[in-house]
C-alpha cells in the first residue's frame, strides 16, 4: 500500500468490541489507505436511538473535519443510525460523505423497482422511518439481530471476545425471518454485519449491499 491515491476516513463510535475483516472499523477491510477517528461522546447507547443530540452531531462534524485535515478525501461512519444527519454533515464537510448504507436506498429503488428490499439492522425495534431520510416505503422488510445469541450482545455490551461463527448464524437467522417476502436484494444497515455479507450472498443467492462497498465505489470514482 502506497501513500498515494485516495484516503478514506472513518468516523467511529466510541466502541471496543472486536471488528473482524470486512467490518468498517477494521482498516484491513479497505482497498485504499484508511484512517479512523474515534469519537469520545458518541457510543452505541446514545447513537442507536431515535433522537441524536446536538452534541453528538457536532462531534461527528468535528471528527470529519479532522480526517479531512489529515488528508482524507472520502468520509464515512461506523454506524448506520447516523443516517439522519447525512445532509448536514456532508454540507459541513464539503466532500464525498456517506453516513450509512441507508443512503443507497434511492439507487436500489431505481434498480429493483417496487419489489421488496430487505434491510438488516442492529436493532429493528429502534430503526424508524426517520432514519431513512424520506426514502422509507412499505416495501422495505426489516429484520434485526437483537434476538440473536452473540453479535448483538457483544456490540451492545462492548465485549472483548466475539464468536464469529455464532455471529454469522445470528445474521443468517435474521435474514431467514424475512425471506418469505422474497426480497430482491439485502441492504446491511449495521456496519458490523459486513464480515458476513459473502456468507449471505452464498446462502440466500441474492445481492447484498453494504456501506463498505459503497465507500469503495466513492473512493474509486474519486481516483478516476
Q: What is the mean pLDDT of each run of 10 residues along the chain (224 residues)?
A: 77 97 97 97 94 96 98 97 96 97 97 97 95 95 97 96 98 98 98 97 98 96 73
- In a shared domain, residues 129 and 158: yes
- In a shared domain, residues 162 and 219: no
What 3-state DSSP class applies to 112? helix
- In a shared domain, residues 201 and 218: no
**Total Cβ atoms within 10 A of residue 91:** 10
Domain that holds residue 13: 7-100+212-223
- In a shared domain, residues 178 and 153: yes
Dihedral over Cα of 47, 140, 121, 126: its sign: positive
Domain-located, residue 1: no
Return the pLDDT at 223: 64
Counts for the chain of helices (H) and strands (E), in that order: 8, 8
- In a shared domain, residues 167 and 178: yes
* CATH code of the domain in which 34 resides: 3.40.50.1860
- In a shared domain, residues 72 and 43: yes
- In a shared domain, residues 62 and 88: yes
User: CA torsion 65→66→70→75, rounded to 10°?
Assistant: -50
- Residue 206 φ then ψ, to 5°: -130, 155
How many domains does the chain contain in total?
A: 2
Dihedral over Cα of 118, 124, 127, 128: its sign: positive
- Short-list 160, 156, 112, CA closest to 137: 112
What 3-state DSSP class applies to 98? strand
Domain-located, residue 50: yes
Return the pLDDT at 3: 54
Amino acid at each position: 500500500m502506497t501513500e498515494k491515491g485516495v484516503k478514506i476516513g472513518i468516523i467511529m463510535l466510541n466502541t471496543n468490541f472486536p471488528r473482524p475483516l470486512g467490518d468498517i472499523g477494521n482498516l484491513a477491510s479497505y482497498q485504499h489507505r484508511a484512517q479512523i477517528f474515534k469519537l469520545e461522546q458518541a457510543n452505541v447507547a446514545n447513537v442507536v436511538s431515535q433522537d441524536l443530540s446536538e452534541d453528538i452531531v457536532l462531534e461527528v462534524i468535528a471528527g470529519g473535519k479532522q480526517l479531512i485535515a489529515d488528508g482524507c478525501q472520502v468520509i464515512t461512519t461506523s454506524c448506520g443510525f447516523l443516517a439522519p444527519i447525512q445532509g448536514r454533515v456532508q454540507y459541513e464537510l464539503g466532500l464525498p460523505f456517506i453516513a450509512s448504507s441507508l443512503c443507497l436506498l434511492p439507487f436500489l429503488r431505481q434498480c429493483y423497482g417496487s419489489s421488496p428490499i430487505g434491510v438488516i439492522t442492529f436493532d429493528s425495534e429502534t430503526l424508524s422511518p426517520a432514519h431513512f431520510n424520506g426514502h422509507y416505503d412499505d416495501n422495505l422488510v426489516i429484520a434485526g439481530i437483537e434476538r440473536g445469541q452473540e453479535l448483538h450482545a457483544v456490540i451492545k455490551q462492548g465485549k472483548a471476545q466475539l464468536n464469529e461463527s455464532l455471529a454469522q448464524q445470528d445474521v443468517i437467522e435474521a435474514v431467514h425471518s424475512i425471506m418469505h417476502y422474497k426480497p430482491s436484494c439485502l441492504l446491511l444497515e449495521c456496519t458490523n454485519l459486513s464480515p458476513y455479507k459473502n456468507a449471505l450472498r452464498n446462502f440466500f443467492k441474492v445481492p447484498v449491499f453494504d456501506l463498505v462497498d459503497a465507500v469503495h465505489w466513492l473512493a474509486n470514482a474519486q481516483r478516476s
